[in-house]
Structure 1
Amino acid sequence: MEPAAVTPDLSSDMTAVAVQTARKELDQLWSRGTEFLGTEYAILAGAMSWVSERNLVAAISNAGGFGVIACGAMTPELLEKEIAGTQSLTSKPFGVNLITMHPQLDDLVQVCLRAGVGHIVLAGGIPPSAAIRAAKDGGARVVAFSPALVLAKRLIRMGVDALVIEGAEAGGHVGPVSLTVLAQEILPHVTDVPVFVAGGIARGDAIVGFLEQGASGAQLGTRFAAAAESIAHPRFKEAFVRAAARDAMTSVQLDPRFPVIPVRGLVNEGSRSFLVHQAETLRRFQSEELTKEEAQLEIEHFWAGALRRAVIDGDVENGSVMAGQSVGMVKSIQPVKDIIEELVGQAVGALVKRGARRGE
């Protein structure tokens, strides 16, 4: 396949020959990822609830990346319709992200297999061995998330076909370790399967850096959430454009007796109210108005429906505006095709400049 025409982020004195050479180098750097995904570019889309539906997923795949449906809490019937809807919009490969804690996980895997989905992403915890086996026996490739080297090795032994290592810079539910550290911990030691990096990535030159460390590709979410094809409310996208990296903070836990799952999103009235709510719930617990179990539920239920309120209804003050720290590099609402071309152009540009420094 001839490389697509991409306008790289280059100065005028960089020749067409240098660009062509750099593009071939990029194709080689992420060849393991493109081969695994079946795509032109090893750019994997993060699965974002309420955002990663048929329109955005198909747009990403049609532009040469790899879109991923976020199943979330969908029933098997709803997922079947979403897959069919996506297939009506693209003939290119795409995947489905399934939450391992879903009570109908086995049924959801079968829905994917019957629909011919080639890649199943298992997220939200260590995937059950039975789900991995079922997916692989049905002909699908399995992708899982690993926040540590020891787990990466365990997942490979369990049979997963690829890994995503996601740093704390990402949006939504996150772990405690940055991608910079995870890459150093995992990439030199995991060569059995392709490894995709995620968290805080918004530029193509950053992708090149991780590819050179051994990554097979990159997963991005925040930039695609604000894409023109995203069904997110205009106010949700505008909040991304206005935000700086420091505005994307993880949720705060006031008392270790009442755990709060770390979720990164834009600070707003909702996040400030959550602190007040926690403090009031703790007061009620300490005064014995609530049992410990009741207090924990009070805290956990605060954000119920909050993501939908932000994404679909546009309530960016009280809803949960999940965003990664790369939100500071979202400068405008762009079509997916332009985002991907920009990323590839920046990657090619970085390689051209490196070649120029070496006198190539």
Structure 2
Amino acid sequence: MTSTSSIGAERLARRMARGCEFLGSEVAILGGAMSWVSERNLVAAISNAGGFGVIACGAMSPALLDAEIAATKALTDKPFGVNLITMHPQLFELIDICGKHGVGHVVLAGGLPPAGSLDAIKGHGAKLICFAPALSLAKKLIRSGVDALVVEGMEAGGHIGPVSTSVLAQEILPEVASQVPVFVAGGIGRGEAIAGYLDMGAAGVQLGTRFAAATESIAHPNFKKAFIRASARDAIASVQIDPRLPVIPVRALKNAGGELFTAKQREVAQALDAGSVEMAEAQLQIEHYWAGALRRAVIDGDVEHGSVMAGQSVGMVTKEEPVATIIETLMAEAAHALEKRAA
């Protein structure tokens, strides 16, 4: 007779089969691309543990990305992907670097793929994954030839949209999950939630916050301690000061850095009023501020003045543990949840 635990595991394997096949991984869990955190060590650890690691290219130059991919390949022979930002001035050179290394999956973040980028990525034989923050955009991306979607809600860390994960999943999964694999992200901290989204038609999930404080993460001990101490309500979204400066909200742990960002926005708005900067330059200053603030927290350990980007699932990060243990725990929780439903 089949034991109940293996019934849950079998159900989980069946529901994850499509996502695993698409990614080439053992479990359909994507690592969220977190700038400064999702580098060779964490990415390789996620892939080695059966998941699918994703390098956060962020503002890296083509030469830096080239070195990062090579270093990741030295640490794992399992598949991993690269996350590229659509507004990167050297996007096409970065796509070519991914192609040179035979990267199988490219994740494009930050809006619709610019003209020609989709063909360039596909031309290298890679699969393209894009973010869909609304149903209309999901349909448009599928029509344009995207291979898979990530549906990420506002509970996530870093740059966020205005709609919650549960609402987006309910809106988008029934409409498009039969057409392309859809991965759900934002606020996922336990396996029960993974089981729920798989039951709704998701091919898998994406998690960032749960992995940020993993043993293999190079984040500063202060950064990890801030995650371990924080509760869900400590991860708050930034506020936009001036409507002329459309700032995509960023979710991070509440600290003096958040107040510094408000002050920075005021300073840039005043420069706009005085005519000393153009709009494009003003917006770039805001973006550069974030990149520097995140590095201060992750690498230098200044968790008071830096930006400690974290999702609301941060309250479920209770200790520093290996990536393999995190994935194992999530899978066991998901299998147990599916087993209970079977009963």
Which bracket does the TM-score occupy, shorter chain normalised? over 0.9
Q: 1:311 aligns with which of 279, 285, 298?
A: 298
The CA deviation at 1:257 is 3.0
The CA deviation at 1:301 is 5.4
* Counterparts of 2:61 and 2:284, CA distance in 1: 24
CA spacing shift, 1:325–1:116, aligned 2, 3 Å: same
* Counterparts of 1:38 and 1:298, CA distance in 2: 39
Is 2:330 aligned against 1:343? yes
CA spacing shift, 1:258–1:327, aligned 2, 3 Å: same
CA spacing shift, 1:354–1:111, aligned 2, 3 Å: same
The CA deviation at 1:332 is 0.4
Partner of 1:6: none
Q: 1:231 aligns with which of 218, 221, 234?
A: 218
* Counterparts of 2:284 and 2:69, CA distance in 1: 34
- Local SS of the residue matching 1:249: strand
The CA deviation at 1:273 is 2.8
Unaligned 5+ segments in structure 2 are none
CA spacing shift, 1:105–1:341, aligned 2, 3 Å: same
Partner of 1:185: 171
* Counterparts of 1:165 and 1:129, CA distance in 2: 22
- Local SS of the residue matching 2:187: coil
* Counterparts of 1:192 and 1:99, CA distance in 2: 25
Is 2:119 aligned against 1:162? no
The CA deviation at 1:254 is 2.4
Counterpart code for 2:55? I
Larger displacement relative to structure 2 (263-272 or 122-131): 122-131
The CA deviation at 1:253 is 1.4
- Local SS of the residue matching 1:144: strand
* Counterparts of 2:124 and 2:285, CA distance in 1: 41
Partner of 2:28: 42
The CA deviation at 1:348 is 0.9
How many residues of Structure 1 are paired with residues of Structure 2 in the alignment?
Answer: 341
CA offsets 1:112-165 (integer angstroms, 9 cap, x no match): 111111111111111124111122122111101111111111111111100001
Partner of 1:134: 120
* Counterparts of 1:59 and 1:235, CA distance in 2: 21
Q: Is the 8 Å Cα contact of residues 161 and 248 (structure 2) preserved in structure 1?
A: no
Larger displacement relative to structure 2 (163-172 or 268-277): 268-277
CA offsets 1:60-91 (integer angstroms, 9 cap, x no match): 00000000011111111111111111111111
Higher radius of gyration, 1 or 2: 1
Partner of 2:247: 260
* Counterparts of 1:105 and 1:90, CA distance in 2: 25
Structural RMSD (CA):
2.0
CA spacing shift, 1:275–1:153, aligned 2, 3 Å: same
Q: Is the 8 Å Cα contact of residues 254 and 278 (structure 1) preserved in structure 2?
A: yes
Q: 1:71 aligns with which of 37, 57, 79?
A: 57
Unaligned 5+ segments in structure 1 are 1-14
Partner of 2:42: 56
Counterpart code for 2:218? I
* Counterparts of 2:197 and 2:191, CA distance in 1: 10
Q: Is the 8 Å Cα contact of residues 278 and 299 (structure 1) preserved in structure 2?
A: yes
Q: Is the 8 Å Cα contact of residues 296 and 306 (structure 2) preserved in structure 1?
A: yes
The CA deviation at 1:103 is 1.4
Is 2:4 aligned against 1:18? yes
Q: Is the 8 Å Cα contact of residues 233 and 312 (structure 1) preserved in structure 2?
A: yes
- Local SS of the residue matching 1:170: coil
CA spacing shift, 1:131–1:313, aligned 2, 3 Å: same
Partner of 2:238: 251
Q: Is the 8 Å Cα contact of residues 129 and 158 (structure 1) preserved in structure 2?
A: no
* Counterparts of 2:27 and 2:57, CA distance in 1: 23
Q: Report the TM-score when normalising by structure 2.
A: 0.94
- Local SS of the residue matching 2:122: helix
Is 2:80 aligned against 1:80? no
CA offsets 1:297-326 (integer angstroms, 9 cap, x no match): 665654451110000000000001100000
* Counterparts of 2:291 and 2:214, CA distance in 1: 25
CA offsets 1:17-37 (integer angstroms, 9 cap, x no match): 111111111011111101100
Q: Is the 8 Å Cα contact of residues 96 and 119 (structure 1) preserved in structure 2?
A: yes
CA spacing shift, 1:19–1:192, aligned 2, 3 Å: same
Q: 1:27 aligns with which of 5, 10, 13?
A: 13
* Counterparts of 1:32 and 1:279, CA distance in 2: 48
* Counterparts of 1:117 and 1:285, CA distance in 2: 42
Q: Report the TM-score when normalising by structure 1.
A: 0.90
- Local SS of the residue matching 2:175: coil
- Local SS of the residue matching 1:44: strand
What does residue range 144-223 of structure 1 map to in structure 2 within 5 Å? Answer: 144-190=130-176, 191-223=178-210
Counterpart code for 2:48? N
CA offsets 1:240-269 (integer angstroms, 9 cap, x no match): 000010110111112323332200000101
Is 2:101 aligned against 1:115? yes
Partner of 1:326: 313
